[in-house]
Structure 1
């Protein structure tokens, strides 16, 4: 269970919407903020509830956190050869972004260390084929080339896998379950979870079913509903879905594949919106840095194509920004326990931020804060507002702010809230904001004036990651009892839910589209599933970019069998060559389709 974090820094909240000042650190004052806005907001939120998407403190098994919870953070240092900070070991991969398990009691000392440049928050991500194979030309390609993915590793970082499913018999080499007690994988990675092999792997259960379905699409070996690369073998990470743990999962898979001398493609059918949406956030950079010859990563674009969770406004001296947020009433079944606004703007300017409740009460205008944690809390009626505005640029040169609102004795006050942004100096340009909600209440709030673009977050925003949109290959099927089932998606076109690009700043994403609805694949025996989605014994249908991504992972496993040193750029070129958008010129990119539906 998620632990309730006691802030590592004592934060006092005054009455009437006024925030009490925090003691300042001289070291922090000299160097400016090193904590990301998300980490500061995490530390500053009231202890009665773990902030939205926050970390699970390691070792927490109940609703009360240990006296000294551990944070799994992402770290950048001035010297990438640094092995430890303040007595805390650093886990390093191929690039500049490292990870560390930092006890909350050591966080202030860790951040203040002179070799530390930036520390980012642990944030939770979430998991986002019968007729699909012919649609993409897979049977013909396999027959022509003789490729099956033999000798190639497919890595799956997801909810786990059903080792008892016959489609995976003898093909899963190792499994790192990050949610069970253990010493971790060693080799400089985090000391959490357990690596299992052989019969011991069956103790790890996929109770969600998402990972099993994804693995089946990529390479399931069944006759009735085969995957794409039926000759490949697997390395599985059952992740806890913290971004830092996902990064370590990718590193572990590539390290294990390297020990075997095998090329590898890692599938990430997961994501979130806590990042900068430009591919330069710590998670996206860390994963892209792991890519290289024979080391490919595929990610889902996301399923928020129709969700009103992105807004953008130009902010100038004469024109401040005002982001209206429509929150469901407290008595509604869709009331909001909390909501969070993740804002970004150009580092060429500086802004002040405030929140205005639906009652008209407002916080003070909060300017940039030069000390860690750069956060203040305010009380507006029955709600608590946490605002983080660090006076430091992120690695992409931009500034981030976070505004989180939570109800003190129940849901957040309903009505129209506002997050207002005004220019203080320079040219902040366009301010982008993303709205994050309770995962069980996705309709509890929305932007009043949304923009339906730039909805691909990390890790799909990664520049070396192959990012996949979803194409609806069918919208009807027969369940196990022979009953005709259907879903309200238009067939033979891009799926309505598929998240569009471009990246913030204009980068082209997604890369390609692949069948993602409704896809038949393996059913985990440990998962609960509606019978209407069960199409045969041990098989079910699911929809999402989560299903489209492993389709492409399987295709790249076929490519790697013949060309084991394929680079990310070469893989993208190969996919682009065989992709097309209906009624569009060859080579055209579209924010929903990418370069089009893949065809090999």
Structure 2
């Protein structure tokens, strides 16, 4: 057995884990992605690089890193995203100005009726509202892969103009966006259409984007999306195969999209139908904290909560702390012929942890344990255990890397089992502590789960706190679960039914709570067998609903399901809400969701939020009425048309027109969204004044809408006393 002892390191456990995997040549490449760990990434000089979050000490700027070959990307306060050449990683970590290096962790995509179910149709048609709400004047960003830029779903409703304004393909070669040194940016419709598709050539992103913003109704199937008039900005996140990317590039993409929206003076919502099992799941990860910092008024993030419902990739135990206690469990490997995987352990601050690997001889009902490894404020006793079949009854190795995480003070371990097939032996571990607190474990969900194997004293895995990082755990991110609006799809003209129950929570939808006690998800939306656009460049299997030809090319619509489909539905709804309330913050959006979400026999009565349903099922129509109410109490922004002056004078309103206009009409709405009065004015001249008597209306707040042939629709708050 070989043992290596480290002190508290500037390198995160995953960074050390990855470097060890590189040395053992166990990191995936494009030809062999099956291990589902981060692939090797190289820079222009052919060096293997570590994509990472780099924490700087106060008073240091990023410039001092460039002389060491570090390529800095985004700068957010004292945290950077950067590529560090592997061969200088230890050198960079030793620099006085570097506080901590956290390698990016793997990211994977999370895979008509819905609009009707969520009352989106009423929002789009403007029923009893001041106007139609289709995301006009709002930027919808999507970070994903598998985009077909040419699909008619992403044109204006009359097919006259492409709505995709910017594309950053992080995997392509070419001119990178300003401030970045990788990928290729496309800034004109001509360049975007000439490229046609991103380098991924799958279809996940095309389907997701169609749900959020699709506007095509060419074939009368009514399968268009929610924010049909929104501008679109796309980021194809960095990956060399369809499974893996890293979360540092996702932060770069968020910043890129928000920066574009700010440059054109428009509010923005970004969808991330992506997930990762790596992280503390409590909102304190570097990704979550940077994502929270980047959000604000008119800047929202929406993410899928994950598809881990019904899995056993999580386990936890609370320790009383009055005596030594033990959490014991076994690895349950997906690939029994090649048992390997990862388990991440997060322990509450102040817990002194002892780790002990075990091998269980099934036939003899006997447990063999091994030397302990200690992890606390004073030591991080990282070890690699090598097993010999003649001694241990099992072949292979198990490494444990640990730290006291500087972001949240928690004891953080990564376990990396890599065994050979050994029938008759189960492999597991003990975690021992005498301190009070809770320990949470998460596996990578693909290669490993956790099991008691029905043995007394051992903990079985569960799907509690199974929300993904990236979309499911951030404190300001709107996290979305999925419920069932269609329980079947049609294959070869024949309905194919699932075991899902219409209107119930989707069986795969991940659930909360977060370890810090927050309710997740925040909201649920339709997520099963949603029909949306498919990439015409994707040659893999598609479950098609229909196809048609446009501009000489065949395009498909088809079925997909997952919280990946529920998340863009909410992102589209948020775009319509931002049209009504451009300064909406994540906190106000959550307040509106809590106030307006629907509850029924399936959700049950929700008081303060549910870890299955969030605040309930989305009601886009009730929510937009709340947005109008919120906007009524805010001073008009500089973008408002101020050429006409509105004076609320006692119990009348005087409108002073600033220029000649025709077909002028005034409409008065109450805060329930109902039109209570209409007055046709016709032609007006500059300087003309029109008075509206309000004596017949009950006291309260109203919205006055001014329309005209030359007037952008104006909505002003009116108070009747």
Q: TM-score, normalised by structure 2?
A: 0.72
Q: Deviations over 1:392-432 (max 9, x none)?
A: 2331121110101124xx66877522121112x6x252211
Q: Pick from 228, 231, 246: which aligns with 2:229?
A: 231
SS of corresponding position for 1:298: strand
CA drift of 1:161 comes to 1.0
Separation in 2 of the partners of 1:413 and 1:115?
50
SS of corresponding position for 2:254: helix
Q: Pick from 332, 345, 348: which aligns with 2:347?
A: 345
Q: Pick from 587, 592, 596: which aligns with 2:612?
A: 592
Matches within 5 A, 1:132-281: 132-144=114-126, 145-169=131-155, 170-182=162-174, 184-187=176-179, 189=180, 191-197=181-187, 198=191, 199-202=193-196, 204-223=198-217, 224=221, 225-240=223-238, 241-281=245-285
CA drift of 1:487 comes to 2.1
CA drift of 1:451 comes to 2.8
CA drift of 1:560 comes to 1.1
SS of corresponding position for 1:470: strand
Partner of 1:388: 401
SS of corresponding position for 1:211: helix
Q: Deviations over 1:520-574 (max 9, x none)?
A: 0001112245454444441011110000000000001111112211111111122
Distance 1:206 1:393, change over 3 A: closer
Matches within 5 A, 1:12-27: 17-20=1-4
Which structure has more strand as a fraction of its residues? 2
CA drift of 1:517 comes to 0.6
Distance 1:286 1:450, change over 3 A: same
Distance 1:477 1:289, change over 3 A: same
SS of corresponding position for 1:313: strand
Query: Are 2:355 and 2:431, in contact at CA under 8 Å, matched by a contact in 1?
Result: yes
Query: Are 2:172 and 2:199, in contact at CA under 8 Å, matched by a contact in 1?
Result: no
Partner of 1:114: 96
SS of corresponding position for 2:352: strand
- For structure 1, the residue ranges without an aligned partner over 5 or more in a row are 1-16
Partner of 2:302: 298
Partner of 1:474: 486
Distance 1:314 1:369, change over 3 A: closer
Separation in 2 of the partners of 1:493 and 1:357?
42
Separation in 2 of the partners of 1:447 and 1:394?
31
Greater shift after overlay, 467-476 or 87-96? 87-96
CA drift of 1:139 comes to 0.6
SS of corresponding position for 1:598: coil
Separation in 2 of the partners of 1:417 and 1:48?
23
Partner of 2:326: 320
Partner of 1:495: 506
Separation in 2 of the partners of 1:509 and 1:387?
30
Separation in 2 of the partners of 1:593 and 1:431?
25
Q: Deviations over 1:296-342 (max 9, x none)?
A: 00000100011001011234443222122233674xxxx44521110
Separation in 2 of the partners of 1:372 and 1:116?
21
Separation in 1 of the partners of 2:424 and 2:272?
36
Distance 1:125 1:428, change over 3 A: farther
CA drift of 1:588 comes to 3.7
Separation in 2 of the partners of 1:422 and 1:111?
31
CA drift of 1:183 comes to 5.3
Query: Are 1:299 and 1:468, in contact at CA under 8 Å, matched by a contact in 2?
Result: yes
Partner of 2:26: 49
Distance 1:445 1:432, change over 3 A: closer
Greater shift after overlay, 192-201 or 217-226? 192-201
SS of corresponding position for 1:125: strand
Q: Deviations over 1:39-97 (max 9, x none)?
A: 22222335220186543333389xxxx97410110122232762235433543444553
Separation in 2 of the partners of 1:472 and 1:414?
42
Separation in 2 of the partners of 1:348 and 1:160?
44
Partner of 1:462: 474
Separation in 2 of the partners of 1:338 and 1:180?
32
Partner of 2:529: 518
Point out 4+ residue stretches in structure 1 off by more than 6 angstroms. Answer: 369-374
SS of corresponding position for 2:576: helix
Distance 1:70 1:324, change over 3 A: same
Query: Are 1:325 and 1:417, in contact at CA under 8 Å, matched by a contact in 2?
Result: yes
Query: Are 2:170 and 2:236, in contact at CA under 8 Å, matched by a contact in 1?
Result: yes
Distance 1:570 1:389, change over 3 A: same
Q: TM-score, normalised by structure 1?
A: 0.86
- RMSD, matched Cα: 2.6
By relative contact order (CA 8 Å, sep 6+), the higher-ranking structure is 1
CA drift of 1:371 comes to 11
Query: Are 1:160 and 1:239, in contact at CA under 8 Å, matched by a contact in 2?
Result: no
Query: Are 2:324 and 2:432, in contact at CA under 8 Å, matched by a contact in 1?
Result: no
Query: Are 1:500 and 1:509, in contact at CA under 8 Å, matched by a contact in 2?
Result: yes
Q: Pick from 365, 368, 372: which aligns with 2:372?
A: 365
SS of corresponding position for 1:244: helix
Q: Deviations over 1:336-378 (max 9, x none)?
A: 4521110010121221213224555655311238899974322
CA drift of 1:470 comes to 0.2
Matches within 5 A, 1:92-131: 92-128=74-110, 130-131=112-113
Q: Does 1:311 align with 2:315?
A: yes
Partner of 1:14: none
